Structure 1
Amino acid sequence: MNPKKIHIIAPYPKGEAPSQRFRFEQYLGFLEEHACEIHYHAFHTQKSWDRLYQKGQFFRKFLDLNYNFLRRWALLFKLAGAKHIFMHREMAHVGPPVFEWFLVKVMRKKYTYDFDDAIWIPNYSSVNARFQKLKCYWKVPYLIRWAEQISTGNEFLANYARQFNPNVQVIPTTIDTRNQHSKLVDHHRKPIVIGWTGTHSTMHYLDFIVPILRKLEQEYTFVFKVISNKKPDYQLQSLVYQDWKEETEIEDLAEIQIGVMPLVLDAWSEGKCGFKALQYMSLGMASIVSPVGVNTKIVEQQENGLIADSAEEWEAALRQLLRDETLRSKLGEKARKSIIENWSVEAWKENYLKLLRV
């Protein structure tokens, strides 16, 4: 039997971006088991991606950009005979939807379009702020309209997409609880570790709970662990920083007993797919999340985690978990069970076969 060729178009190299790793990359092996031949086409090369968020090197980045555009034009010729095209976010990291227009309007190709954030809203790194207009956020409705079908990470994103295309389904961002997130938190270990993981661009959400942690330091002994790509400058006695590393990601996360995910209520946060909560809970962590977006679907109050909104609620939730080891263990156990049943690769993998008509 001839394998079905699936062409995956994505902005970033394989294994580099959480949006890709946990949206579709962890399903590639499963698709290959079902006689699929995967052709992966990233806009960035590994070298251009490594340079992208470094300060300076503007001329080198300009050369990278032009080279990657040439690679995209070459890709269009490779797609001449393609029958299964899966596009995540966009064909080019910057610029108007020229490649997508050519693919659909000239080559008459159909594609499945996938996104997991409110990517129509400007959101950019301070390092490249001066170039943010090149992102052309206005192109997203066109990419949705031109697609044959759309998969989104949550209902908020799906409702946005349905304004432009009725063929929309929700496939949540999921966790591989068998092969990756399989280590469990030890709730008996002391001192207790409260923790957060994420990129420096989202670290500002922690500003809200830093004064609360500073207050609790006067009463409890704990560690506040931040796993990121940039060290925070918070004045906390309990702060421990750790560089994020893919090879030790799970082991580093599993040292946290109380995972925190504070957010503010805005359109960008509504579009997020609750990935931090999913990661925390899959490892058996007791988590506290803000009641924003999909978080209220993932977390059931006092069942598999805690939901806190105001500063008073966050302080009370942290106090409760710092004091009660039995509660931490109980919430963590139920959290992992709920992820396996509702938010895991195993629970959703068949949907990818249907989505790609394999």
Structure 2
Amino acid sequence: MQLLALTEGDDHVCYRYRVAPFAPALQKAGWQLHCEPLAKGAWARWRQLRRAGQADAVLLQRKLLPWWQLRALRRSAKTLVFDFDDAIFHRDSYHPKGIVNWQRMAHFWTTVYAADLVLAGNRYLYDQAAAFIGPERVRLVPTCVEPRKYPLAEHAADGVLKLVWIGQRSTMRSLYQMHEPLLAAAAAVRFDLHVISDVFPDLAGVRVRPMAWSETTETAQLAGADIGISWLPDDRWSRGKCGLKVLQYMAAGLPVVANRVGVHVEIIVDGVTGFLADTPEEWRAAVERLSNDAGLRASMGAAARRRVEDEYSVARWEKPFAEAIDALLQPKHDLTRRVGPASLRAPAHHV
């Protein structure tokens, strides 16, 4: 059986972390995973969506298609899965028009309504989808990492403390929002801030060490640090974030300092795998405490690694992912139960 994944690209971060790692488990269940970037241009896209019906199931990742494209895909696909790991029904935190966008919400509603199965990356996203279509067709599958790919941080007692932030141009503003907390920490502790990215910040009073991001070097770069840091704006867009950078830090055996927003509160066990800190004073205290105790950094980092292995690893979620896909084609799965506008349902010969 063939599962066709329509994505933004086989090298896109969402596909690399949310679908591609499960290919071996899918293969054991009798599925061949094939990734195809969504075609550019209306005519090419329409032909692609019509051809999608050749696969046994289609996984559409993140993309909210225009109505006519969604209709073409729904009519073609024997079985349709929708996977998302962002609050795509909102604008982002920094959009000049604000976060709420009813047009995006309408596109989201029609997409989840058309799907046979929805895979949500966190509880907030799960609840948003289930509010429209009920929980029966929604599964929570967190973004996962493969801990075995990450060497463990050494946490040497001597030398300059190294904080690390990993991200890209689109998330750089969240690093600037940490400027004041980082300045507070810098007043108490001498540290370098390693920034692994494709663009680098100018943070007055904070010593930034730029590190060009590469898929082949990121794990070693993370393991070369002492503390991972993260910040999310306190808004509805950020509640849809799935915490990839935090999971990467923890997989590398780093304690994490982050604010109390969204999945930070779910992933980080305060005082065990890191510290949750909102104010500059809390950040200063957290960084200072970790700076003064390499043993504490090591023990928290080890606990962080175990938590990833137990709750957020590919090994933990590969079986549930494959079973969710496989169940769609079991005899007990009645595709005539699809709900939604009749024009979005599959034609009779696919039922």
Of 134, 138, 142, the match for 1:172: 142
Unpaired runs of 5+ in structure 2?
Answer: 328-351
Contact 1:9 1:91 in 2 (8 A): no
Deviation at 1:81, TM superposition (A): 3.5
Mapped pair 1:32 → 2:27: yes
Deviation at 1:160, TM superposition (A): 0.6
What amino acid does structure 1 have at the position aligned with 2:36?
H
Task: Note closer, same or farther for the CA distance 1:231–1:350 as it changes in structure 2 (3 Å cut).
Answer: same
Deviation at 1:311, TM superposition (A): 2.0
d(CA) in 1 for partners of 2:194, 2:77: 51
The answer for the alignment partner of 1:21 in structure 2 is 16
Contact 2:130 2:138 in 1 (8 A): yes
Give SS of 1:163's match.
Answer: helix
Mapped pair 1:144 → 2:112: yes
The answer for the alignment partner of 2:127 in structure 1 is 159
- In the TM superposition, 1:71-110 aligns within 5 A as 71-90=44-63, 96-104=66-74, 106-107=75-76, 109-110=78-79
What amino acid does structure 1 have at the position aligned with 2:56?
K
What amino acid does structure 2 have at the position aligned with 1:87?
L
Deviation at 1:137, TM superposition (A): 5.9
The answer for the alignment partner of 2:85 in structure 1 is 116
d(CA) in 2 for partners of 1:352, 1:108: 20
Q: After superposition, what is the alpha-carbon deviation per residue over 1:185-218, rounded to whole angstroms, capped at 9, x for unaligned?
A: 1100622210101112212122233233334434
Contact 2:166 2:245 in 1 (8 A): yes
Contact 2:228 2:256 in 1 (8 A): yes
d(CA) in 1 for partners of 2:93, 2:237: 12
Give SS of 1:203's match.
Answer: helix
Of 202, 217, 236, the match for 1:248: 217
Question: Which stretches of structure 1, 4 residues or longer, exceed 4 Å deviation after superposition?
Answer: none
What amino acid does structure 1 have at the position aligned with 2:3?
I
TM-score norm. by structure 1 comes to 0.83
The answer for the alignment partner of 2:339 in structure 1 is none
Mapped pair 1:284 → 2:284: no
Q: After superposition, what is the alpha-carbon deviation per residue over 1:209-249, rounded to whole angstroms, capped at 9, x for unaligned?
A: 32333344344332111111112122235211112111211
Unpaired runs of 5+ in structure 1?
Answer: 45-64
Give SS of 1:232's match.
Answer: coil
Give SS of 1:247's match.
Answer: coil
Contact 1:209 1:314 in 2 (8 A): no
Which deviates more from structure 2 when the two are superposed, residues 161-170 or residues 338-347?
Answer: 161-170
Give SS of 2:48's match.
Answer: helix
d(CA) in 2 for partners of 1:220, 1:78: 59
Deviation at 1:253, TM superposition (A): 1.5
What amino acid does structure 2 have at the position aligned with 1:28?
A
The answer for the alignment partner of 2:346 in structure 1 is none
What amino acid does structure 1 have at the position aligned with 2:57?
H
d(CA) in 1 for partners of 2:154, 2:138: 40
Deviation at 1:33, TM superposition (A): 4.0
- In the TM superposition, 1:153-232 aligns within 5 A as 153-166=121-134, 167-178=137-148, 180-181=149-150, 183-188=151-156, 190-232=159-201
Q: Percent identity?
A: 27
Which deviates more from structure 2 when the two are superposed, residues 215-224 or residues 252-261?
Answer: 215-224
d(CA) in 2 for partners of 1:276, 1:123: 18
Contact 2:184 2:284 in 1 (8 A): no
The answer for the alignment partner of 1:42 in structure 2 is 37
Deviation at 1:273, TM superposition (A): 0.8
Of 273, 276, 300, the match for 1:331: 300
Task: Note closer, same or farther for the CA distance 1:124–1:220 as it changes in structure 2 (3 Å cut).
Answer: closer
The number of residues matched between the two structures is 320
Larger RCO of the pair (alpha carbons < 8 Å, separation 6+): 2
Contact 2:46 2:72 in 1 (8 A): no
Mapped pair 1:5 → 2:14: no
Q: CA RMSD in A?
A: 2.3
Q: After superposition, what is the alpha-carbon deviation per residue over 1:157-176, rounded to whole angstroms, capped at 9, x for unaligned?
A: 01110122122110100111
Q: After superposition, what is the alpha-carbon deviation per residue over 1:6-34, rounded to whole angstroms, capped at 9, x for unaligned?
A: 11111x2112x222211111112332344
d(CA) in 2 for partners of 1:267, 1:124: 8
Give SS of 1:162's match.
Answer: helix
TM-score norm. by structure 2 comes to 0.84
What amino acid does structure 2 have at the position aligned with 1:225?
H
Deviation at 1:103, TM superposition (A): 2.3
Contact 2:5 2:60 in 1 (8 A): yes
Q: After superposition, what is the alpha-carbon deviation per residue over 1:85-118, rounded to whole angstroms, capped at 9, x for unaligned?
A: 11111275xxx232211222x4464311110110
Task: Note closer, same or farther for the CA distance 1:32–1:154 as it changes in structure 2 (3 Å cut).
Answer: same
Deviation at 1:76, TM superposition (A): 2.7
d(CA) in 2 for partners of 1:318, 1:98: 52
